[in-house]
Amino acid sequence: MDQTIYLVTLVATALVLAAAFSSLIAFRFGAPLLLLFLGIGLVTGVDGLGIPFDNAGLAYFAGSLALAVILFDSGFGTPLNVLRQAALPAISLATAGVALTTLIFGAAAFYLTQLTWLESFLLGAAVASTDAAAVFFLLRAGNLSLRDRVRSTLEIESGTNDPIAIFLTITLVEVIALGADPEAQVLLFDIVIGFIEHMGLGAIAGVLGGMAIVRLVDRLNLDSGLLPIFVLTLSLLVFAAAGAIGGSGFLAVYLAGLVAGNSQIRATNTLKRFQDGMSWLAQIIMFLVLGLFATPSQFPAILVPAVLLGLFLIFIARPLAVSLCLLPFRFARAETAFISWVGLRGAVSILLALTPLIGGLENGRLIFNIAFIVVLVSLVVQGWTVGPLARRLGLIVPARLGPLDKVELELPGSAHHELLAYTVVPGSPVARGQRIPRWARPSLVVRDGRSMRFQDMGRLVAGDHVYIFVPDRYPRLLDRLFASRTEVDPEDEDFFGAFAVDPNRLASDLEAAYGIGLTEAEQKMTISALLNERFGGRAEYADRVMIGPIELIVRDVDEKGRIISIGLSTEPLALRPSVPMFLSVGEIVDRLGMVWTRFRTRRDSKPEPAPRKAPEDTSANP
């Protein structure tokens, strides 16, 4: 008995350590981390080292708890400003996008496999959601600096589409398990009513649970070491309570994290560090368990249709669903194409593919194996190409700030204040003599190992350590003052245009200089107001818009979101990247339109045949 405990502990810890060390390889080579975790699980499973694990219920239970921890951390780390600028397109993708992907993929699965229509749609629902962990890791590991709206849309979509996919999957499993053949109208009605009830209860439980977490943390004087465990336990309590009353526990735990993370909760930095570590541990456990459960020896029998379905999902189903969902939101074609491509499937899809096995469906193992291969295809094809595609589409945005050396410290009883420790780096504005605002006067400066008051230091120099005590919602201006100069890559020198224009000048000046076709009302606006109007009320850093023969680019905005610098490009078409046709419905329509136009032009340009000359009448009398 004692030996068994030691052996199980030894194997479990060895697997976790192997997964943790594999992250170094992933960061070094940009490999999808989930692929490495799943690989370790497959190698140590029944077809590898021979560790038997065939308990679908236990795998689903462990994966669900791990997913709840990940979703709470995702919500806790999502700022409200990110939610405001990308909430509508992300929610459109997380709801209508999941439903469209389910229908499109399910139709293909019906014709490529021996599954029934309902089982095909069940498989589509299982693989319809994107994986938050895979998306976040690839964006971070690739060091991709994307436009805020694109990054926010991807992050919010991947964090919010799981509850919808889970609801559809479980509902279809229950319908198939009943053995009945309901009418389509009745089934659709029941799904819609159940969806509203499920999500509504989950949303209410999540908001109330998040408010309760904030209130309890502020009211109870818990030890700093116990506080993060207390918050994590409360988040799992919200998850369980929402599910117990018939709501979506996954939506509830995400919203609880969102509410708590955007409230002035005590010890925010401590909670973030702890939850970041727990989120990593949850990902490792979930991926390893799912990898252990899989049986690779069963894959060859369904390898061809499963790979074809994976490619269909990547190149047709996902791009079509994304393009239709983002049509109302004025995304550039390159941005839509990139969002389509960064739709990686991951552990959630494999986790949902366990539900047919738990429900005792006849083709449960077949559905699981196909879903597993689809996930592998997604990670192999898409996971290695996210960075190169972003560069090809011209979506890499030059960093706004250079290197910044900063440490945030929380002090007991600080009443939502932070002690920020900056190291003055060469080339930063403060090193060049720029003054620090009065509301952020340093409390202490350390130079060459000596500490003294800021008033006695004179001008700050590179290497000084500056300690500033400010509210925890301090403006981003301080980071700008202490960051070094941004080094622009030579390939990005033309990103912001050939020269700058004053955002406060009237747009009529642009009309007079370039004849860009503005209306009389637009000519009376300032250039910054014109840009804000073109972007639906507010422009963000690196936004760009074509107006006639020129392109205007937002070079910088202040902490209040006001445009303070604009670039102008007179050769925008030369810098416009080409979008792969298979990633954009608009691109396909344009190509078909071009072919039709050329056909009509050639047809109309053909010379009409000369009218036939009537034969001369030779019957006349001589």
**Could you tell me the CATH number of the domain that includes residue 435?**
3.30.70.1450
Question: How much is the pLDDT for 602?
Answer: 57
Question: How much is the pLDDT for 572?
Answer: 59
Give domain status of residue 78, yes or no: yes
Residue ranges making up the domain that contains 445: 406-482
DSSP 459-471: S--TT-EEEEEEE
Number of domains in the chain: 3
Q: 292 and 51 in contact (C-beta within 8 Å)?
A: yes
- Indicate if 45 and 103 belong to the same structural domain: yes
Last residue of a domain, one of 392, 418, 449: 392
Alpha-carbon Rg for the chain, nearest whole angstrom, is 29
Dihedral angle, C-alpha 266, 269, 275, 276, nearest 10 °: 170
Q: 363 and 356 in contact (C-beta within 8 Å)?
A: yes
Question: How much is the pLDDT for 254?
Answer: 92
- Indicate if 563 and 463 belong to the same structural domain: no
- Indicate if 40 and 185 belong to the same structural domain: yes
Question: How much is the pLDDT for 594?
Answer: 55
Give domain status of residue 617, yes or no: no
Q: 371 and 126 in contact (C-beta within 8 Å)?
A: yes
Give domain status of residue 72, yes or no: yes
Give domain status of residue 207, yes or no: yes
Locate tokens 């500033």: which residue?
A: 468
- Indicate if 315 and 420 belong to the same structural domain: no
- Indicate if 290 and 411 belong to the same structural domain: no
Rounded to whole angstroms, the Cα distance separating 330 from 266 reads 39
Locate tokens 């990005």: which residue?
A: 492
The distance of Cα 248 from the centroid of its chain, to the nearest Å, equals: 21
With 0-12 / 13-18 / 19 or more C-beta atoms within 10 angstroms meaning exposed / middle / buried, residue 473 is: exposed
CATH of the domain at 363: 1.20.1530.20
Rounded to whole angstroms, the Cα distance separating 496 from 544 reads 9
- Indicate if 132 and 170 belong to the same structural domain: yes
Q: Which segments of the chain have a pLDDT < 70?
A: 1-3, 8, 19, 22-33, 137-143, 180-188, 400-405, 409-417, 471-477, 485-494, 536, 559, 572-622
Provide the residue type at 320 as one letter: L
- Indicate if 313 and 435 belong to the same structural domain: no
Question: How much is the pLDDT for 331?
Answer: 85
Last residue of a domain, one of 392, 425, 447: 392
Last residue of a domain, one of 440, 465, 482: 482
- Indicate if 231 and 348 belong to the same structural domain: yes
Give domain status of residue 181, yes or no: yes
CATH of the domain at 570: 3.30.465.10
Question: How much is the pLDDT for 85?
Answer: 73
Q: 349 and 163 in contact (C-beta within 8 Å)?
A: no
Tokens representing residue 472 in the block:
């925890």
Tell how many helices (H) and how many strands (E) occur in the chain.
25, 9
Those residues whose C-beta lies under 8 Å from the C-beta of residue 532, and which sit 6 or more positions away, are 538, 539, 563
- Tell me which residue of 134, 149, 139 sits closest to 90, measured CA to CA: 149
Locate tokens 């989930």: which residue?
A: 34
- Using a cut of 0.75, tell me whether the model's pTM lies above it: yes
Question: How much is the pLDDT for 312?
Answer: 95
- Indicate if 415 and 277 belong to the same structural domain: no
- Indicate if 478 and 523 belong to the same structural domain: no
- Indicate if 204 and 285 belong to the same structural domain: yes
Beta bridge partners of 423: 465
Give domain status of residue 547, yes or no: yes
Give domain status of residue 562, yes or no: yes
Rounded to whole angstroms, the Cα distance separating 19 from 22 reads 5
Beta bridge partners of 501: 566
Give domain status of residue 248, yes or no: yes
Rounded to whole angstroms, the Cα distance separating 108 from 112 reads 6
H or E element at residue 310: helix 303-312
Task: Walk across the sheet containing 444-447 and list its strands.
Answer: 406-409, 417-423, 465-471, 444-447, 450-452
- Indicate if 281 and 386 belong to the same structural domain: yes
Question: How much is the pLDDT for 468?
Answer: 85
Q: 36 and 44 in contact (C-beta within 8 Å)?
A: no
End-to-end CA distance of the chain: 130
Q: Tell me the backbone φ, ψ of residue 503, rounded to 5 degrees.
A: -65, -20
